[in-house]
Amino acid sequence: MTSAIPYFGPRRRASTARHRWLRSIYSYRLRYFDKVGDRYAIKKAVKELVHIDFHNLKTEFLPQRNDVIFCRNVMMYFDEAEQKRLIDKFYRCLNPNGFVLVGHAESLLGLTDKFQMVHRNAGTAYQRVEGRL
């Protein structure tokens, strides 16, 4: 997991930064999860805010008013025309300024101008651009 930690110069500083980084992750874990034995369970209050579902992407129906759509390592198996159709569908299903997350081997670049790439904390997502129907 050390590859996720940026280089901070001498080993001592990197070690201190690593502990700070791990401490922040642990505090987030406790904020959203309860420790149950040697595992973690999502807190009930968080669970009530999230709706997780599976859908056939080839059909026309997808639920509307989503804040985030996770579609990881799926689009790469579709041809370009089907990818564009799916991206248009995601656009219609997302709330304003909603996000689509795709797999590391996938990209929306060159397929649409309805989403803009957003980089945050070494992660990449695509955010809906308003007014691009």
Residue 13 has pLDDT above 60, yes or no: no
Rounded to an integer, what distance in angstroms lies between the CA atom of residue 110 and that of residue 59? Answer: 24
Q: How confident is residue 16, by pLDDT bands cut at 50, 70 and 90? A: low
Q: How confident is residue 18, by pLDDT bands cut at 50, 70 and 90? A: low
Q: How confident is residue 119, by pLDDT bands cut at 50, 70 and 90? A: confident
- CATH code linked to domain 51-128: 3.40.50.150
- 47-68-86 Cα angle (round to 5): 135
Residue 91 CB partners (closer than 8 Å, separation 6+): 112, 114, 115, 128, 132, 133
Residue 88 has pLDDT above 90, yes or no: yes
Question: What is the model's pTM?
Answer: 0.65
- Give the start-to-end residue ranges of the domains of the chain: 2-46, 51-128
Residue 6 has pLDDT above 50, yes or no: no
pLDDT at residue number 128: 95
Q: What is the DSSP letter of 38?
A: T
